[in-house]
Structures are given as structure tokens and as C-alpha cells.
Amino acid sequence: MSNKTPVGSVLVVGGGITGMQSALDMAEAGYYVYLAEESPAIGGAMAQLDKTFPTNDCSM
Amino acid sequence: MNIELLTLSKVTSISGDSGDFTVTIKQSPRFVDMEKCIACGTCAEKCPAKTTDLFNEGLAKRKAIYVPYAQAVPLKYAIDKNRCIYFQKGKCRACEKFCPTNAIKFDDTEKDITLNVGSVILTAGFTPFNPDRFDNYQHAKFPNVVTSMEFERILSAGGPFGGHIHRLSDGKEPKKIAWLQCVGSRDLNRCDNEYCSSVCCMYAVKESIIAKEHLGPDFEPAIFFMDMRTHGKDFEKYYERAKSQGVRFIRSRVHTVTETDETGTLNLVYTTDAGERVSEDFDMVVLSVGMEPAASAIEAANTLGVELNSYKFVKTSGIAPVATSREGIYVAGAIQGPKDIPQSVVEASAAACSAGISLSAARGTLVKEKIFPDELAVQNEEPRIGVFVCNCGINIGGIADVPAIAAYAKELGHVVYTEEPLFACSQDAQDKMVEIIREQRLNRIVVAACTPRTHEPLFQETLRNAGLNAYLFEMANIRNQCTWVHSGEKEKATGKAKDLVRMAINRATLLEPIPSLSVSVNKSALVIGGGAAGMTAAISLADQGFNATIVEKSACLGGSARDVHNTWSGEDVQQFLKNLIERVSVHPRITVLTQAEVVEASGFVGNFETRVQAGEKTHSIQHGIAIVATGGQAAGTEEYLYGKHPSVTRWHDLENHPEKLAGAGSVIFIQCVGSRDEKRPYCSRICCTASVLQAIAIKEKQPDTNVFILYRDIRTFGEREILYKKAREKGVIFIRYSLEKKPVVTETTDGLEVRVFDPILQKELLIHADLVNLATAIEPSPNADIAAFYKVPVNAENFFMEAHAKLRPVDFASDGLFVCGLAHYPKSLDESIAQAMAAAGRAATVLARASILISPLVSQVNRDMCIGCGLCTEVCPFGAIIQEDADGKGFKAKNISASCKGCGLCASSCPKKAIDMLHFRDDQIIAAVCAAA
């Protein structure tokens, strides 16, 4: 890395639960975020799940 | 607002270095104008082209113009070009004709976007294994053989069958379902996935329990497995619960599924532990498919130039779990290896932390903040209510009589304006609402439309744009609660909508502006515990520019990692620890207090004060956040002659005393010593891998030594499975035992003797042992004082309890407090490091701000009515109400707004009704209820 000031933005590739969490954390910590997702909507595989254990919460 | 969503987008190239990358992205056309689309659904209703609905795993059809699912973000339609009749045959354009907002853009084109970013985080995920290539399961041919992902959609209330489980062959409810584990995992024979996919055991258990909830007590679920891997936090209890609810667990790998009759009944042949061959029929078979790197994820990784491992997952190291081979590019989630949701979320925050470290000099340079006009003082004005009854296209207007509802509202008290927008949420309707509020001097707004869950924030922002406080707003959900559920009864739907609108108006009359609440943030951190997790958290904060104080109970840093030689992936732990201690010791932003203990703590997010006793000295530390990393340790035991015979050792004793091993002819490892039993009903997660690693090391050094591992289930989850395979190849002998028939260790004249019942041979074995090493349970370090000081909860086994098992795995429920490492649950070093970085990443979201906005919907104490009984303090789960000495008038309750979550427990428990919840005051709720009567 050079000594000049870095760019204060980040690209997150993939809009599933992981990408969404990374994007939220980065944005809340003061960085501009581009969230790139291949499909027409974010959500990823978790959105397809019915419920999650151990609480059997709705995963939506 | 500082996240720009680029859907239908793929990375096509990257250049530059960490801190200054140029990335190009190809964005496919959506053919729908996102600004104009209001997701009314008319287009999809009119679209004549049907195609396979992949969100529903092909179990349903969707239209060529579609949203992937009802809750999709962004909730905007897209045209699937390959299925669209206009694009394929040149005629149709029905969607364009019927779209009420002219959002269809057939001339939309592919765009090339160039971005300048400092870092990249790769989270492109996994794909479920496709079992169609296995002819023995006949997934493609037998309708009643489904994958676990298909079964998720079958279970889902929002799925193709509305949550009604039935067989695809004849629509009948199944009485018996079998789950087959390890399909596409732990299998080198028929596919190349020799790793364990880590999540399938748990999801199969979950699916079986949920299916039982759906189908009732007569339903018979059976899970066919090799090793049941329920190694996560609270997973073992869930497994036990499944057993007690009648889920059958059969340890057998079923070879073939056959169809026995024309209705699609399926037959399985399997072998029991006792060697008996059983043939059994099932109504359905669910294949528990594993995880594979998605082709598109591999492509993205290749484009970004990061190295992959032999399974095509992104390569990382055990001491830098989210760093890729390319500086400035980080990785998280299942693209790095098979893992569950909590671990993915942990890594997501850890990757954000890493990116934050590399970009800290530029923090805050590119983010924007929205500015609203000053709020009008309307509190003392007579209510002037505006009511907007939304047609929601035809969703509401097609069923209920919207003009009649609006006319009815106009006659009610304080209502001065009504309007019937086609779509209240569309941008033009929002702009118009701002104008009307100003023109008509409205000071309360009621929107009768859809659900506040999705739309309240939008309307509240509109109010703020018009200079009104966001809480002068009320919604009546006349779509979900009226026109959707009473779609066949138009008059009743209209009548009920009028009732809901009347209730909302009555409540709105009593609404009051609630000022926003913010607290200043002290930009430093307290880290409790100086082990690998605590030190990693501290250094991760300090490298982002925040000061951190580490409080360590013992005289030196390092914690339980000091006993560990290697990570499971082979890195030298002692070297790592030495470097970490050195960095922590010299870092200008880190203060280390050893032989130090927290003795008192108070405050709330942004403003904690903790007193630390270090030897003779007491330190008073002001800090904005705290990270709890108090660690854990291997428990002792009284079983298997431990402590009574010098050749019975535990955990790393043999590695630390290699002289004991020299000349040993036979070494026996015993697993689950004190884990997965009544006293500790949890799996210690790391012991199987640790013993397997040690066994391999012994075999590599002295191949003639007989090494046995006595286990209950081998839980070498994920890519650790390769170690299990390697151990077997090296001749390590694995013998399974059960909780009912534990091994017995006795002393003999020339060493030790272990008796164990082998379920495969159905015989008791007698093995001579020179050394017996026990994998005792991992338990949390004593933490009752920390739990009490910061009012953070622990679970039944004394591990600290996170805010949400899946989605907030490092946060406590109280803001500004985080947890990582063994204090949370047993975990391997790479997982501890990731969680510590995640805690630092989450903490940075607080520390990065000068002040933070908190929800102002808090409880309010009427001090005149309070009798100081203390009940509210006792029931508050967040420590947000304290009892204050009120100048000789006894104690009075005091709300600490910054800690309050507005749950209302205090208000509902107060015997004097001295506590009210802002925005949900008793009189406001009673007004709505009275209007319903």
C-alpha cells in the first residue's frame, strides 16, 4: 500500500446474509459501501430457509 | 443511505492496490425503471409467460417479469429476458400496457460501472450440491425424493404449497419421511467433496422437528447419518429435544432409494449397528445436500485474483481467517468453506473490521448524512389530521371501497384533509404529501395502506421532510388485515378498514412529538481478558485508531492458547501468540493491566465507567464500549483414573511432555469426557479435531505406536474432515462408544487397560494402554462478576449469551457490549480470532461516531406516583431502570434512556402504573381500543 490516503469506500461482492452484514458494519463505521449482487434482489440462501434453529425463528 | 445497491451486477475486472482499487462491474438490464416501479404486481399478473421459479427450487412457476420473493430488497420487478415473450418472439408488451407508472423499459441496456474503492469484501456464498448425478437416489426421477433446500420451500408458509407438506407424486400428506445425510459431503467415491458440509446435521434435525409440528404426533421422521454433528452453541440440546420428540436417528449410510409402487412410495435398505439388514418404506426421502462453492463465486474470486484451495473455496490461514492472498481483499461466509449462519455473520463483521483497519485514515470521508428541515412546534396546536387512504393499485382499491373509507374518515373528529392516492408510497405521492402537509398545516398524519413493518420508516421520513416530528404518524394496515384476508367479502373488508382507520385517527389525536435522543461517545474501549481473543480484539480496535485497555486477571497475556501448539490448519500457535503479545505490548493505543480485575462498572453505550483493581492500584476507566473475552479452559474430571494415575493425562499434556510418548506402544484418546452429558449438555466442538491432530502427529513420529480414539461421534466438521480421513489412513483406530456404555480404564501391573464395547463387532474389547489422554470438556472461565457488573446474561452452562444466536453472534442485547472467544462457546483459534475481529468491527460502528442516535421510544417514570418498590429494576433485561435515592424521600425509579429498548416490561409490571411508554402511552392505546368498541 502506498503512503497516500486510501479511498474511504468498499465494494462488497455478494448480497447474502454475510454480504449484508459486512455492508452494514462498514457503512455504520463511516465508509461508503457498494453492495454488488448478481441476482435482482439481495437475501441469498438464507431468504430461502423456512425457519432457523435453535429458536425456530422465521429466517426472513 | 451510505450503501449503494448494485443488483444484477458482476465484477469484471480489478486493478490497483489495497487502499486504491479500480473495479469494473457489468450490470445487466432490469428492463424496469427502479425509480418508477412501485411493486404493485400488476405486470406479473398480466404477464402470459410462465417459467420455473428458482427461488422455490423449481417447485413452482413464476412469470417472466417477477420479484424473486415477496420480501425482496429492492422490491422492484425485473424481466427475465430469456423467458419474456416480447424478447423471444417480438410481440406481447402486456406488462408495459398495464403498468400504472410507466416503469417498463424494454430499451434498457447493459451498463459498465467503474468504481474506485479502498477495499473489497468477497461474500459470494455457496451453492447447494446438486444430487441429480447420483443414480442411486433418483432425485431427478422419483417425485418424492427431494433435496433439503426443496424441503425448506415445502415447509415455508411463503413457499409453493403454503407450508402444507405433501408428496409431490399424489398430494398426500406423508406419514414417514427419511432424511439421508452427507449427500455430496464426506464422499470421495461419487463426488469430489471429501469435506463435511458442517450444517446439514442441524438443518435435518430442524426440518424433522418442524415437519413434526406441521404433521402431528403420528408423523414418523427418521434421520440416517454417519456421525451426528451438532457441535454449535445449543445444538446438542436441540438434538436431544428431537430425540425426545420422536425423531429416529439411525446410524447408517443408505446406499439406494427405490420406488416400490405406482403412488411413489420409497424403499430404503439399511444395516443396523447389530449387523441386521432392514428394509423399510417411506413416503418421502429428503436428501441432506452439502455445500459447494458456487460457479459464479469461483468466477468472482478468480476475477479478483484471490487464491482458492483445492476444493475451490477461498484460501485463508488459521491465524488470519478473513484475509485472502491479495492485500486489501477480504473474505467472509461460505465462499471460504462450508459454515453456518452465525459463523458467516461473525466473519462478515470480521472482514468489515479488517477493511476498516486498512482504510481507517479515510474513515468518514465519503459518507453522507441526510439533513432534514427544522421541526415545527405543533405540540400545543389543536390536532389537524390528514388521512391518506391508499388504493395500493388494485390490492386495496380492487376490493375495499376506498372513496367510502376516505369519506367516512373525513367526518371523524380533527380530520381536516383526506386523499386517496393510487400508491401512497410512490415518489410522486410522497412529494405531494409533503406539499399537502405544509399547505393544510397538518400536524398528525394517518396512512391507511399496507404494513408499518415495511413502510412506516418511509412515511416517517416524509413527515420529517415536511418539518413534522416522525412520531406524529400512525398507520392502519387495511391491505394485509382487510383486503387480503377478506378478499372474497368486499363489504366486510370495507367495514373493517373503516374500523381500523377510526382507531388510528383516535390514537393519532393523542400522539405527541418525541425528540430524538443522542448520546456522546467516548472513543475508547475496555477489553476484559488478555487471551488470544482479547488481544486480537484490542489490536483490531487500536489499528482502527481507537484506544483500548486490556484487563487481564493473571500475570501474563496469552490465556488458554498458551497450551496449544498448532491450529487445525497447521499454523504455529506459539509464534502467533508471541507476535501478538509483542504487538499489544508496544502499541501506543493499548494499555495492558495484568493481575487486574473489574470491581465495579456503570454507565451505558458510549459512556461506561469501570473500576479496575490492579494489585494495590485502582484505575477508573472511561470507555465507550466493552468487549468481554474472559475465555475458558479444559475442565478437570474424576473419571478414567485422571489425577490418580500418572499415565492418564488430558488435552495437550502429551504434546507438552513429549518424553512421555517416547517408547509408548499404545496410546488411547477418550473423547467427550464431561461433554454431551447431563451436567454439560453441550458439545465442546474442538476436541475431536484436537485429538485427531495429536493422533496423526504420534503416527507420523512413531508409526509403530498403536493409537486409538474412543469417540461418540467424530465431529471433524468442515474441512477438518480431511484430518479424520488422514488419521484413518495412518492407521489410527477409531472405536465408537455410547454414553450408556462408557469405556472403563483400570490400572494393571504394566500400565493401563481399557475396556470398551465395539458396536460394529458387537464385542467388548480389552486394549492395553501405555497412555490414556482425555478430551475433557471446555468450560467458561468464572464470569459471574462480569455478568453482574455489566448486566449481561449467561446461558445454563455459563457461556455468555449473545443478542441473537444467528444474526447478532458477537453483540450482547445491551448496546455497546460485545463478546468473543471461549467465553461465548468452545471454538478453535481461527474462530476465536474471527469473533474477536468481529467484536472490534461491531464496536467500531459505535466508536466511529461522535454521538449516536438511539430510539427515543423509551419508558418514562412519573416520580410522584413511584413508590420505589424496585420491581421495574428487577424485571428490566437491559439494566435501563435504576433506583435512585430521592433526597430522603426513599427510592425512586429512574430510566436510563440510552440503555432502554422500549420493551415495556417495566410499564406492565409497575403496581402503581407510574411508568408509561413513550408513543405507546396507556391513554394512546386506550383511545385506539375505545374507538374499536
Show residues of chain A in contact with B235, CB under 8 Å: 53-54
Question: Under a CB-based contact definition with an 8 Å cutoff, are residues B455 and B372 in contact?
Answer: no
Question: Under a CB-based contact definition with an 8 Å cutoff, are residues B932 and B880 in contact?
Answer: no
Nearest to B123 among A22, A54, A56 (CB): A22
Question: Under a CB-based contact definition with an 8 Å cutoff, are residues A4 and B20 in contact?
Answer: yes
pLDDT attached to residue A60: 65
- Residue in the block written with cell 458482476: B10
Nearest to B2 among A12, A32, A39 (CB): A32
User: Which among B651, B659, B661, B646 has a CA at the least distance from the CA of B693?
Assistant: B651
pLDDT attached to residue A3: 65
| B364 pLDDT tier (thresholds 50, 70, 90) | very high
| B668 pLDDT tier (thresholds 50, 70, 90) | very high
Q: What is the 3-state secondary structure (H, E, C) of B759-786?
A: CCCCEEEEEEECEEEEEECEEECCCHHH
pLDDT attached to residue B273: 86
Question: Under a CB-based contact definition with an 8 Å cutoff, are residues B125 and B131 in contact?
Answer: no
pLDDT of B287 above 60: yes
pLDDT attached to residue B56: 96
Instruction: List, for residues B205-224, the tens digit of each pLDDT value.
Output: 999 999 999 999 999 999 99
- Residue in the block written with cell 474430571: B637
| B189 pLDDT tier (thresholds 50, 70, 90) | confident
Alpha helix segments (H runs only) across B58-165? 85-89, 94-98, 148-155
Average pLDDT over residues B816-838: 98
Angle formed at CA B389 by CA B383 and CA B394, multiple of 5 degrees: 175
Does residue A6 belong to the interface with chain B, where contact is any CB pair within 8 Å?
yes
Alpha helix segments (H runs only) across B123-198? 148-155
In a domain, A24, yes or no: yes
Q: Quick check: A22 and B121 CB within 8 A? A: yes
- Residue in the block written with cell 467472509: B332
3-state class of B349 per DSSP?
helix
In a domain, A34, yes or no: yes
In a domain, A32, yes or no: yes
Reported in sequence order, the residue ranges of B470-546 that DSSP labels E, i.e. its strands, are: 473-477, 517-520, 524-528
Q: Quick check: B118 and A32 CB within 8 A? A: no
Q: List the single range of B170-184, B313-327, B552-566, B890-904 with lowest mean pLDDT.
A: B890-904
If you measure CA to CA, which chain B residue comes closest to A17? B345
B736: Cα within 13 Å, side-chain hemisphere: 14
Q: How far apart are CA B909 and CA B625, in angstroms?
A: 30
Q: How far apart are CA B101 and CA B38, in angstroms?
A: 8
In a domain, A27, yes or no: yes
Angle formed at CA B77 by CA B470 and CA B29, multiple of 5 degrees: 115
Question: Under a CB-based contact definition with an 8 Å cutoff, are residues B546 and B353 in contact?
Answer: no
Angle formed at CA B554 by CA B552 and CA B560, multiple of 5 degrees: 85
Q: How far apart are CA B295 and CA B303, in angstroms?
A: 12
Q: Which helix (H) or strand (E) holds B667?
A: strand B666-673
Average pLDDT over residues B632-647: 97
Angstroms from B57 CA to nearest CA on chain A: 9
Nearest to A17 among B5, B10, B344 (CB): B344
What's chain A's Rg over C-alpha atoms? 15
Q: Which three cell numbers stand for residue B460?
A: 416517517
Angstroms from B4 CA to nearest CA on chain A: 5
Q: Which of B1, B5, B127, B129 should one mutate to test binding to chain A, selecting the residue with the greatest count of A CBs within 10 A? A: B5
Average pLDDT over residues B917-932: 95
Q: List the single range of B379-388, B392-401, B470-479, B801-810 with lowest mean pLDDT.
A: B392-401
Mean pLDDT rounded to a whole number for chain B: 95
Angstroms from B147 CA to nearest CA on chain A: 13
Angstroms from B842 CA to nearest CA on chain A: 7
Percent residues over pLDDT 90 in chain B: 91
Question: Under a CB-based contact definition with an 8 Å cutoff, are residues A24 and B3 in contact?
Answer: yes
Identify which has the larger pLDDT, A4 or B629: B629
In a domain, A59, yes or no: no
Instruction: List, for residues B721-756, the tens digit of each pLDDT value.
Output: 999 999 999 999 999 999 999 999 999 998 999 999
The gap between the terminal CA atoms of chain A, to the nearest Å, is 40
In a domain, A14, yes or no: yes
Q: Quick check: A12 and B806 CB within 8 A? A: no
User: Which among B30, B34, B46, B35 has a CA at the least distance from the CA of B394?
Assistant: B46
User: Which among B169, B129, B118, B382 has a CA at the least distance from the CA of B285?
Assistant: B169
Instruction: List, for residues B88-97, the tens digit of each pLDDT value.
Output: 999 999 999 9
Chain A, residues 21-60, CB within 8 A of chain B, namely 21-57, 59-60
Q: Quick check: A7 and B359 CB within 8 A? A: yes
What's chain B's Rg over C-alpha atoms? 31
In a domain, A26, yes or no: yes
Average pLDDT over residues B26-30: 98
Show residues of chain B in contact with A19, CB under 8 Å: 121, 123-125, 333, 348
Q: Quick check: A25 and B300 CB within 8 A? A: no
Q: Which contacts qualify for B65-71: CB closer than 8 Å, 24 or more apart? A: B65/B31, B65/B32, B65/B95, B66/A40, B67/A40, B67/A41, B67/B39, B68/A39, B68/A40, B68/A41, B68/A43, B69/A41, B69/A43, B69/A47, B69/B158, B70/B158, B71/A43, B71/A47, B71/A60, B71/B454
Q: Quick check: A40 and B72 CB within 8 A? A: yes
Domains and CATH numbers, chain B: 29-109 (3.30.70), 126-292 (3.50.50.60), 385-512 (3.40.50), 520-631+781-851 (3.50.50.60), 635-777 (3.50.50.60), 858-917 (3.30.70.20)
Q: Quick check: A33 and B2 CB within 8 A? A: yes
Average pLDDT over residues A27-54: 93
Q: Which three cell numbers stand for residue B786?
A: 462480569
In a domain, A23, yes or no: yes
Instruction: List, for residues A12-38, the tens digit of each pLDDT value.
Output: 999 999 999 999 999 999 999 999 999
Q: Quick check: B17 and A24 CB within 8 A? A: no
Into how many domains does chain A fold? 1
Q: How far apart are CA B578 and CA B565, in angstroms?
A: 12
DSSP string, A11-35: EEE--SHHHHHHHHHHHHTT-EEEE
pLDDT attached to residue A1: 45
The sign of the dihedral angle between the CA atoms of B339, B342, B343, B345 is positive
- Residue in the block written with cell 473423547: B671
| DSSP 8-state assignment for residue B831 | H
Question: Under a CB-based contact definition with an 8 Å cutoff, are residues B468 and B375 in contact?
Answer: yes
How many other β-carbons are positioned within 10 Å of the β-carbon of residue B874?
12
Q: Which three cell numbers stand for residue B619?
A: 484505575
The sign of the dihedral angle between the CA atoms of A43, A45, A48, A54 is negative
Does residue A3 belong to the interface with chain B, where contact is any CB pair within 8 Å?
no
Nearest to B118 among A9, A13, A38 (CB): A9
Nearest to B235 among A6, A13, A54 (CB): A54
Q: How far apart are CA B684 and CA B775, in angstroms?
A: 9
Question: Under a CB-based contact definition with an 8 Å cutoff, are residues B810 and B819 in contact?
Answer: yes
Q: How far apart are CA B695 and CA B707, in angstroms?
A: 6
Q: How far apart are CA B622 and CA B39, in angstroms?
A: 49
Q: Quick check: B333 and A16 CB within 8 A? A: yes
Nearest to A8 among B72, B347, B362 (CB): B362
Nearest to B363 among A4, A31, A33 (CB): A31
Task: Give the domain range for residue A14.
Answer: 10-39
User: Which among B302, B301, B294 has a CA at the least distance from the CA of B338?
Assistant: B294
Q: Quick check: B3 and A25 CB within 8 A? A: no
Average pLDDT over residues B550-563: 97
Write phi, then psi, for B423 (nearest 5 degrees). -140, 105
- Residue in the block written with cell 431502570: B881
Write phi, then psi, for B213 (nearest 5 degrees). -60, -40
Q: How far apart are CA A24 and CA B808, in angstroms?
A: 12
